[in-house]
Amino acid sequence: MTSVKAELGETKREIVDRLKRADATAPALATALGITEAAVRQHLDALEQNGLVERRTLPPTGRGRPVSAWALTDLARELFPDRHGDLTVELLGALRTALGEDGLARVIDERAAAQLKAYRKAVPARGSLRDRVDALAAVRTAEGYVAEVIEDDDGLLLVEHHCPICAAATACQNFCSSELQLFRDVLGPKVKVERTQHLLSGDRRCAYRIT
C-alpha cells in the first residue's frame, strides 16, 4: 500500500476523498471536480486496478438501465489516518490495568481538557452558528475526521466520514462520550448538540445535529 500511496496523484486523491464521503457516479465526480467524464473514468480504472474502488449498482429509480456508482473498497481504508490503532489499544489496556476504570476516565478527561483549550482557539466564540460549526469541522478535518457541515430544514449537521481513532474508541467508548461533550463545551450552552449517527453503532459515519 505504501507504493500506491506514493503514486496517488492529486486528482485520484480528490476522487478517493469524495468517495469516502459517499458513493458517486462518474458523471457526478466529473462535475464536482470540474474535469471531463473521460478523465474521471481513466482515474477510476487505475484506482480499480489497484483494488481501491469498485462498482456498485444503484437501486432503480424508474425505467431505463441500472446506474452504477463507484465506492471505496476495504483496502482503501489504509489511505486514511488510523493513529496507530493497535498501539493505542495496547496502551489503553495497560492504563486500565494500572489505573483502573476511574483512572482511565481521568486520563481521557485530561485529553478532553487539552482538546477544549485548542478548539476554543480555533472556533470563534461569536459569529453565526454556521461559521462556528464550519470552524469546528475544519479542526476535525485537520485531525483526520473528514468532516463537513450540511445545512437543512432542521438546522446544521456536522458529519464525520472517517474516524482516525476508531480502534481506541472501540476499546474505550468514553472517547465518544467525551467528544460529544467537547462539542457542547466548545459551542456553548445556547447550542444543542446531539449525535444522530454513530460509527460504533453500525452507521457508516458519525453525525451530530446542531441547533
Domain 2-79 sits in CATH 1.10.10.10 = yes
Local confidence pLDDT in tens for the 211 residues of the chain: 444 554 678 999 999 999 999 999 999 999 999 999 999 999 999 999 999 999 988 766 666 677 789 999 988 888 887 656 677 888 888 988 998 989 988 988 898 899 999 999 999 999 999 999 999 999 999 999 999 999 998 889 999 999 988 878 888 888 899 999 999 999 999 999 999 999 989 998 999 999 9
Q: Provide the 3-class DSSP secondary structure of residue 123.
A: coil
pLDDT at position 46: 94
Which CATH architecture best describes the domain 85-210? Answer: 2-Layer Sandwich (3.30)
pTM for this entry:
0.66
| Residue pair 201/173 in contact by the 8 Å Cβ criterion | no
Question: Of the candidates 83, 76, 81, 69, which has an alpha carbon nearest to the alpha carbon of residue 20?
Answer: 76
Dmax over CA atoms of the chain, in Å, equals 63
Write out the E strands in 40-182.
53-57, 68-72, 147-152, 155-160
Q: What is the structure's pLDDT at 3?
A: 46
Instruction: Copy the grid coordinates of residue 107.
Output: 486520563
**What is the arrangement of strands in the sheet containing 193-197, beginning at the earlier edge strand?**
147-152, 155-160, 206-210, 193-197
- Grid cell 437501486 — which residue? 59
Give phi and psi for 160, each to the nearest 5.
Answer: -115, 115
Q: What are phi and psi for residue 128, nearest 5 degrees?
A: -70, 155
Helical axes 37-49 vs 26-33, angle rounded to 10° = 120
Q: Is the separation of the CB atoms in 4 and 77 below 8 Å?
A: no
pLDDT at 4: 53
User: Would you call 129 exposed, middle or buried from its count of C-beta atoms within 10 A (0-12, 13-18, 19+)?
Assistant: middle
Task: State CA 157 to chain mean position distance.
Answer: 13
Give the E-state strand segments of the chain in sequence order.
53-57, 68-72, 147-152, 155-160, 193-197, 206-210
CA-wise closest residue to 52 among 15, 94, 89, 104: 15
pLDDT at res. 181: 94
The secondary structure of residue 24, as a DSSP letter, is B
Residue ranges of domains in the chain: 2-79, 85-210
What pLDDT score does 91 carry?
A: 85
User: What's residue 88's pLDDT?
Assistant: 80
Identify residue 19 by its one-letter amino acid code: L
